[in-house]
């Protein structure tokens, strides 16, 4: 069993000095030593470290470096790949990897750690162990995140459905509240639910959809609505490829006139040749609030049943590839990011 371990930093690759947690190259490699000490296994690991950054400092520049690194790897030389990452932005990097490597014939697993590895509370070694077990079973091709929650459940997330951890309990969740599965005693147990793709769909041969030709140079501006959002304070320059305007849960945003109007903002962007995507709608045009209809009539492009993290990252990929027109790319269900219609 040969596994490539791609180290990128984060808490799992950090060390505490005084009361400060920061990335440390030696601490990153310590992961393998601690794993072998605890589990006494003899897998063959190859280790590379294309970047070493706390994930809150991660920008699309680091995505470029990771993507460039992955493109140099012959995936078939390995039984699987484990990418260590910081927990703050792992949901975004996972989605990017899902879109770009949907075609992989081996498991690619992203992991993180809730505390640095020397802390007794850390789940980092457990996450690494379960990623190794997931790869050894070869049950599922594609891109995933494995992270142990506060109930000691080893959750397996689809790469494009994991959402940011909450800010109180620091727990991840799946968009739609249905996780892809669990690792139980070192074995993968899929959650059978209509929201989840079948194993046949997961393991079906997939073509490579995109290639990032010039890095992530085109940016995506993401806006979240809140009472009193003043659009006149938002600067749109020539580097913005598109805007993602998030909506309230009822697929609405302020539609009054003037500086607080999402509708006027959308019209202004479109006059500049910049498309505005809005998410997430539960359905496209039926039984919508008046403000939702105004937003669509202003020319916004609706995204259906997709998380904020997956929508933002998908737009970043869409506007930095050349195989498909961005709007057509956004309509495709690239890697299970679009859920089926909810039964409400």
Instruction: Tell me what pLDDT residue 284 has.
Output: 59
Across 256-264, average pLDDT: 93
- Give percent of the chain above pLDDT 90: 76
User: In whole numbers, what is the pLDDT of the chain averaged over residues?
Assistant: 91
Residue 269 scores a pLDDT above 70: yes
Instruction: Tell me what pLDDT residue 19 has.
Output: 41
143 contacts 92 by C-beta, under 8 angstroms: no
Instruction: Tell me what pLDDT residue 285 has.
Output: 53
Residue 33 scores a pLDDT above 50: yes
When mean pLDDT is compared across 140-154, 177-191, 329-343, the lowest value belongs to 329-343
When mean pLDDT is compared across 18-32, 103-117, 268-282, 309-323, the lowest value belongs to 18-32
The dihedral over CA atoms of 33, 21, 309, 76, expressed in degrees to the nearest 10, equals -20
Domains identified in the chain and CATH numbers? 2-203 (3.40.50.1170), 219-331 (3.40.50.40)
- Which ranges constitute the DSSP H helices of the chain? 25-39, 60-71, 90-100, 124-137, 199-203, 262-271, 290-297, 308-318, 326-331
79 contacts 2 by C-beta, under 8 angstroms: yes
Residue 4 β-bridge partners:
46, 81
192-213 per-position pLDDT tens digit: 999 999 999 999 999 998 999 8
Instruction: Tell me what pLDDT residue 132 has.
Output: 97
80-98 per-position pLDDT tens digit: 999 999 999 999 999 999 9
- CA dist., res. 131 & res. 155, Å (int): 11
Instruction: Tell me what pLDDT residue 20 has.
Output: 45
Which pLDDT band, with edges at 50, 70 and 90, does 26 fall under? low
Specify the pairing of strand 275-281 against strand 301-304.
parallel
Residue 311 scores a pLDDT above 60: yes
- CA dist., res. 122 & res. 178, Å (int): 25
Instruction: Tell me what pLDDT residue 286 has.
Output: 63
The DSSP-derived string for 7-61 is E-BSGGGEEEETTEEEE-HHHHHHHHHHHHHHH----EEEEE-S--B-GGG--HH
When mean pLDDT is compared across 168-177, 243-252, 283-292, 316-325, the lowest value belongs to 283-292
Residue 54 scores a pLDDT above 60: yes
Across 180-195, average pLDDT: 97
The whole-model pTM stands at 0.93
- Give percent of the chain above pLDDT 70: 93
Residue 173 scores a pLDDT above 60: yes
């Amino acid at each position: 069993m040969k596994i490539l371990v791609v180290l990128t930093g984060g808490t799992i690759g950090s060390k505490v000095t005084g009361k400060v947690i920061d990335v440390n190259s030696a601490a990153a490699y310590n992961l393998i030593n601690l794993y072998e000490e605890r589990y006494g296994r003899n897998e063959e690991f190859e280790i590379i470290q294309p970047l070493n950054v706390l994930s809150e400092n991660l920008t699309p520049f680091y995505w470029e470096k990771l993507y460039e690194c992955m493109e140099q790897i012959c995936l078939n030389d390995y039984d699987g790949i484990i990418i260590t990452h910081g927990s703050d932005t792992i949901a975004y990097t996972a989605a990017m990897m899902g879109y770009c490597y949907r075609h992989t014939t081996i498991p690619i697993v992203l992991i993180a750690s809730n505390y640095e590895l020397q802390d007794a509370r850390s789940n980092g070694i457990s996450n690494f162990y379960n990623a190794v077990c997931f790869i050894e079973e070869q049950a599922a091709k594609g891109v995933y995140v494995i992270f142990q929650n506060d109930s000691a459940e080893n959750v397996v997330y689809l790469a494009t459905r994991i959402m940011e951890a909450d800010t109180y309990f620091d727990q991840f969740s799946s968009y739609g509240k249905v996780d892809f599965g669990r690792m139980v005693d070192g074995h993968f147990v899929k959650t059978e639910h209509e929201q989840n793709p079948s194993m046949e769909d997961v393991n079906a041969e997939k073509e490579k959809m995109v290639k990032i030709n010039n890095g992530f140079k085109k940016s995506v501006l993401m806006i979240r609505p809140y009472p009193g959002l003043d659009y006149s304070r938002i600067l749109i320059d020539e580097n913005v490829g598109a805007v993602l305007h998030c909506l309230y849960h009822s697929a609405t945003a302020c539609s009054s006139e003037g500086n607080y109007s999402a509708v006027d903002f959308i019209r202004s962007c479109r006059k500049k040749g910049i498309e505005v995507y809005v998410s997430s709608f539960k359905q496209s045009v039926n039984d919508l609030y008046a403000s939702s209809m105004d937003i669509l009539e202003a020319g916004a492009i609706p995204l259906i049943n997709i998380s904020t993290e997956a929508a933002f990252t998908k737009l970043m990929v869409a506007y930095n590839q050349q195989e498909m027109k961005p709007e057509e790319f956004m309509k495709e269900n690239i890697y299970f990011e679009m859920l089926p219609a909810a039964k409400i």
